[in-house]
Each structure stands twice: as C-alpha cells, then as structure tokens.
Amino acid sequence: MSHVFSDETHRNLLSRIPHCTGREVADWLRTVEEGPSLLRFEEKVSWLRGEHDLAYGHAKAIVHEYDLRRAARKLR
C-alpha cells in the first residue's frame, strides 16, 4: 500500500468529498464494494479515478476508508 494520509488529513478529505463530487461518502463506499474485484489498493484508486473522474486524493481517501471499515467488520 502506498503512503497513507495522517488521520487528520484523511478526515478532512472525507469531509470535502460530498461538496467536491456531489455524492456522499457512503455512496462512494458502496461504489467500491460493488465495483470490480480488484485486490491492490492502487488498482482500486486507479479504477475510481478512471471510471468516475475523481481526484487522486479523493479516490485514495475513499479506498482507505473502505479498507478501514472492511477491516473493522472482520474484527467483529
């Protein structure tokens, strides 16, 4: 996995996603979930950027959040 943003930067990026993209973060997380079965972090980021024309930072924040939530589900 490539460089991960600080927690504060990650939160700031997530908070700006709805304004910048017109879609809520939960909607983007569903998009990743329902998208192609890509294994690598950067593959998911590249797919979001290419398919949905997202900025690199926003795509990276969405995939990182998706991975965090997915890991949290597995711990339960």
pLDDT digits (tens, 9 = 90+) for 27-61: 999 999 999 999 999 999 999 999 999 999 999 99
CA angle (40 as vertex; 38, 41 as ends), nearest 5: 110
Question: What pTM did the predictor assign?
Answer: 0.89
Please compute the mean of the pLDDT values over residues 61-72 and round it to a whole number.
Answer: 94
CA–CA separation, 8 vs 12, rounded Å?
A: 6
Give the gyration radius of the chain's Cα atoms.
12
CA–CA separation, 28 vs 43, rounded Å?
A: 16
Predicted local confidence at residue 36, as pLDDT: 96
Q: Which of 40, 39, 32, 42 minimizes the C-alpha distance to 66? A: 32
pLDDT grade, residue 1 (50/70/90)? very low
Q: Which position has the token pair 């294994």?
A: 39
